[in-house]
């Protein structure tokens, strides 16, 4: 049975890497945010806006406890998932957890293209974004570092490097 759970800051490539890793292993891939959106028929942005972050975190907790029990799966979690409740402990108890670690500068470059979709950074300028990432990453990284494996993804900028990262992950995880 395979159960691999990817954690890391938004923009670190969890969905991209997760999808490719699942394909390479012949298992199912789930993105926790997408799973929430399908189940509740609203975007994460809508839930944040209409119900607040606290309500979203409770939904996220409930859905994590549902989807993380699936077998033969690669699961990509939202950037905040490991930081609430006992989520990181829970994920570690169920499978192989991997922190996709990237520098604030790399994260900012990735997120500049997707700001509209991300409720926590939607209206930030370039410098505000970098400052926000540095501050929130310093708060979140102690949770991320509890993962069983840490993979640096600073150079994850093309298909060849994604493939190399998948190979590295497979060696690291023994799968």
Q: Give the model confidence (pLDDT) of 93-116 as tens digits.
A: 999 999 999 999 999 988 887 655
pTM: 0.92
Please state the rounded mean pLDDT for residues 45-56: 94
**Model pLDDT, residue 1:** 87
Q: Give the model confidence (pLDDT) of 137-152 as tens digits.
A: 999 999 999 999 999 9
Q: Does a structural domain hold residue 134? A: yes
Q: Does a structural domain hold residue 16? A: yes
Q: Does a structural domain hold residue 117? A: yes
C-alpha 145/C-alpha 60 separation (Å) is 20
C-alpha 38/C-alpha 155 separation (Å) is 31
Judge whether 129 and 115 are in contact, CB under 8 Å. yes
Please state the domain count of the chain: 1
Task: Look up the domain containing 108 and give its range.
Answer: 3-167
**Model pLDDT, residue 119:** 65
Q: What is the CATH number of the domain that holds 58?
A: 3.40.50.300
């Amino acid at each position: 049975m395979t159960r691999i759970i990817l954690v890391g800051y938004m923009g670190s490539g969890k969905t991209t890497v997760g999808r490719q890793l699942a394909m390479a292993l012949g298992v199912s891939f789930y993105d926790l945010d997408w799973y929430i959106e399908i189940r509740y028929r609203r975007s994460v942005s809508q839930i944040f806006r209409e119900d607040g972050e606290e309500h979203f975190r409770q939904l996220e907790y409930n859905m994590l406890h549902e989807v993380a029990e699936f077998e033969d799966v690669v699961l990509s979690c939202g950037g905040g998932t490991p930081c609430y409740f006992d989520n990181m402990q829970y994920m570690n108890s169920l499978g192989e957890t991997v922190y996709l670690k990237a520098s604030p500068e790399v994260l900012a470059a990735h997120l500049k293209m997707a700001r509209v979709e991300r409720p926590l950074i939607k209206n930030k300028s370039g410098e505000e974004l970098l400052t926000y990432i540095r501050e929130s990453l310093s708060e979140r990284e102690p949770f991320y570092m509890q993962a069983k494996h840490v993979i640096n993804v600073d150079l994850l900028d093309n298909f060849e490097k994604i493939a190399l990262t998948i190979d590295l992950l497979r060696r690291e995880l023994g799968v």
